[in-house]
Amino acid sequence: MEALARIGHHAGHLTFSMPHTESTFLPPLLNPITGREVNFLYTPHTSLASETERPKYGTHELGEYLTQQYPPIFHAATNVPAFIRALACMPNLRHLSVSCPGQEPCQRYRRSAVDYALISLRIAIERAGLTQLEKLSLAVHPAALPCTQRRALMSIDAWTFKNSRADHSKLLTNYIRTFSGSLEKLAFHWHGQCGPCPLTLNDSSRPSSPSSATKLFAAITSPMPPLPETPPPPPLHFPNLRRLFMRNAWVASEQVSSLVSKHGSSLRTIDFDNVTLTSGSWDEALAPLYDLATKEGIWEARHS
């Protein structure tokens, strides 16, 4: 840390790499007396001051279990103050890249020290005061996405799962939701293959999926009534959004129409580039825009 403090101000681009390996996956935590699994909720320290306010893992008993059964890499990954001090030594950092390769699809729900390291890194990014940070390059990972409101440019790598498109979309939508209250400009671009518009995934105007009406054979023949469907989260709303840019995506015309109607009072620029309508026409999609444009020049809209 002393060496980093001497040279850290020269760092402009930092790459944090922590591959998933057998040594990073964590075994079940067991009570040494009863042999039963111990479930614990990890609440990390979020500042240097909180380090002295309470035990690192909540209780001393739980701390003993974790110290005895979990490897040193876990305890290093949960050392949030050390992450904060390290990033604070690089005040001129402009670009941070995060790479966590090696996770197989079947392992993504296993507990891993990588998850805890990403939590610590995320907190450190928000607490270290990196005023020069302009860009984050990271992978879609449950613990990787920071929630700080200051954002200039973010590039996210998504893993490729044939049957997990819904998981990606929900994660992106929920992440964007955290900025909805203060966001003024949003530019979203799918790299490579065209993808869905994350701003309309929870819109009630979206067409229902044909598969939603089908039931499994066990659900039909079971004497137990099926569980009620989980209600979808409310549609995204950006009260201060003024400029919207969307590229390389597909969306239904009724979803665009609903989006424009809800944000017409604040939006001034809409730019759709290489956006494909899955239903309807652009005249139908932008009809609310024409109704709201009562003054010439108040709107700027483009689609291609």
Looking at the fold, whether 124 and 190 belong to one and the same domain comes out as: no
Looking at the fold, whether 50 and 86 belong to one and the same domain comes out as: yes
User: Quick check: 245 pLDDT over 80?
Assistant: yes
Res 149: pLDDT? 52
- The total of other beta-carbon atoms located within 10 Å of residue 288's CB is 18
**258's tokens:** 């609903």
Q: Which residues pair with 96 in a beta bridge?
A: 14, 136
> What's the residue count for the chain?
304
| 8 Å CB contact between 99 and 139 | yes
**187's tokens:** 């530019």
Amino acid, res. 135: K
Res 215: pLDDT? 43
Looking at the fold, whether 10 and 148 belong to one and the same domain comes out as: yes
Q: Provide the whole-model pTM.
A: 0.56
Looking at the fold, whether 202 and 152 belong to one and the same domain comes out as: no
Q: Which domain holds residue 242?
A: 183-208+238-304
User: Quick check: 162 pLDDT over 70?
Assistant: no
Q: Which residues pair with 303 in a beta bridge?
A: 272
* φ, ψ dihedrals at 135, nearest 5°: -145, 140
Segment 117-133 shows an average pLDDT of 90
Looking at the fold, whether 16 and 85 belong to one and the same domain comes out as: yes
Task: Let me know if residue 244 belongs to a domain.
Answer: yes
- 16: confidence class by pLDDT, cuts 50, 70, 90: very high
C-alpha angle 132-4-130 in degrees, rounded to nearest 5: 15
Question: What domain count does the chain have?
Answer: 2
Amino acid, res. 102: G
* φ, ψ dihedrals at 117, nearest 5°: -65, -40
Q: Residue 90 half-sphere exposure, CB side, CA atoms within 13 Å?
A: 19
State how far the Cα of 234 lies from the Cα of 252, in Å rounded to an integer: 18
State how far the Cα of 136 lies from the Cα of 9, in Å rounded to an integer: 18
- 213: confidence class by pLDDT, cuts 50, 70, 90: very low
Looking at the fold, whether 88 and 196 belong to one and the same domain comes out as: no
Q: Decide which of 159, 191, 221 is a domain's last residue.
A: 159
Task: Let me know if residue 177 belongs to a domain.
Answer: no
Top pLDDT among 269 and 155 is at: 269
Closest of 259, 222, 263 to residue 239, by C-alpha: 263
Task: Let me know if residue 165 belongs to a domain.
Answer: no
Looking at the fold, whether 44 and 146 belong to one and the same domain comes out as: yes
166-190: per-residue pLDDT in tens?
Answer: 666 777 787 788 778 888 888 888 8
42-90: per-residue pLDDT in tens?
Answer: 888 877 677 677 888 888 899 999 999 999 999 999 999 999 999 999 9
Q: To the nearest whole number, what is the mean pLDDT of the chain? A: 79
Looking at the fold, whether 2 and 43 belong to one and the same domain comes out as: yes
